[in-house]
Structure 1
Amino acid sequence: MGSRSRPVSMVVVMEWIVAGARAAIGVVFVSAALSKLGRRRWTEFRAAVTALVPAARGSRSTALAGMAVIADWTVVLLLALPGRAGVVAGLGLAASALAVYTLVLAAAVRRGTGAPCRCFGASTRPVSGVQLIRNAALLVVTVAGLAAAGLSGDSGSEAVPDAALWVAAGAGGLLGAVLTVFEDLADLFTEPVRPGASTAGPPLTTRRPPATTQEHHTTTQEHQR
């Protein structure tokens, strides 16, 4: 069924969601792809893959890291294509990649791995529930975009003014930027303990027991002398 059989107001809302999700996921995956460029960043990301996936060693970690990079750039290219097909394909691939990343991170958190993720950005924060919350939010955005794309139809964007779509895309891009630096924002509120720092309270002072009657008498005699 096309978009003509649906209320215009619903089509407009669905198209806003599609534009926002497209921009948000695009910003996040562009950041993810760029964060792995360069020999040093690539080496760090491959080391993170090795730490997060114990079964990946040597050439396996290189292959997995390469597949992640290819997936990042493919999502970016698909979302940049005009037309509905590219958006749906890009969001679908993003959802699949995010699901895999989330499962890997969840297993790493369960094992207590202290390695950083380096999946989206170059943060050195060890994997924790922060990354799982971020990925869950990204999955919600991606699935919402896919659902809205299916409900609005192939020609739904024709019923929405370009200005409204740009506003929705701007809001989505802002959301994507916030999610990209989500780990840094979390550090502002939950500062990790520095290595070697003590979490104990201030040192306890030893109180001297009160002087006995004999000690007090001896001290008085010394003062009289």
Structure 2
Amino acid sequence: MPYLELGCRALLTTVLAVALAGKIRPAAFTAFAASLAPIRGIPAPARRPLASAIVLAEATAVVLLWTPGTVRAGYLLGALLLTVFTATLAVSRWQGAAVRCRCFGYDAGPVRSSHIIRNLGLVAVAVTGLVSASPAATAEPLLPVAAGALAGLLVTRWDDMAFALSK
């Protein structure tokens, strides 16, 4: 189980770190905050503070995932974030809102079913990591961490892969 858990941790960390890195530049952050406008229930004055909270939560999850004694909390926070993102995207899409995916800092176009599927997969990774995390487990980390990080990078290029496979 330690290999599975380390792979999940590396994948989730990579996805959250790329998302964080893509949003912290001032122009990208402003665009991310503005992308919240079509989501019902988020008033204009709350967009920037909410965007800041999301960025802070992503950073916190990354730190928790690699701090001894807080790994489970990192998985819980990651799963919670991804669940809220997924539900928000699904409801917004169902309501016909023109929400654009700025998950990784760039404009990946309108939210599609593939974004929701991607996020559900990431929730499953977070839950799998949570249930397989053991404080006493040790393992040679190189292979599962590298595999998880590679999988995480592929997830961050989800739209590119979906486009390439659709042709």
Q: TM-score, normalised by structure 1?
A: 0.70
Cα distance in 1, alignment partners of residues 22 and 144 from structure 2: 26
Bigger RCO of structures 1 and 2 (CA < 8 A, at least 6 apart): 2
Cα distance in 2, alignment partners of residues 88 and 186 from structure 1: 31
- Identify unmatched segments of 5+ residues in structure 1: 1-13, 192-225
Cα distance in 1, alignment partners of residues 35 and 88 from structure 2: 11
Cα distance in 1, alignment partners of residues 61 and 96 from structure 2: 30
CA displacement, residues 77-117 of structure 1 (integer Å, 9 cap, x when unaligned): 11232x2x222111110000001000100011112233312
- Identify unmatched segments of 5+ residues in structure 2: none
The aligned residue for residue 57 of structure 1 is 43
The aligned residue for residue 136 of structure 2 is 155
Q: Which of these residues, 13, 18, 22, is aligned with residue 35 of structure 1?
A: 22
The aligned residue for residue 219 of structure 1 is none
Q: Is the 8 A contact 2:28 2:105 kept in 1?
A: no
Matching residue's letter, 1:126: P
Matching residue's letter, 2:56: I
Matching residue's letter, 1:114: A
The aligned residue for residue 71 of structure 1 is 57
Cα distance in 2, alignment partners of residues 69 and 80 from structure 1: 18
Q: Residue 167 of structure 1: CA displacement? A: 0.4
The aligned residue for residue 169 of structure 1 is 145
> Aligned residue pairs: how many?
167
Q: Which runs of 4+ in 1 moved over 6 A?
A: none
Identity of aligned residues (%): 31
Q: Does 1:123 align with 2:104?
A: no
Q: Does 1:86 align with 2:80?
A: no
Q: Which of these residues, 35, 46, 52, is aligned with residue 33 of structure 2?
A: 46
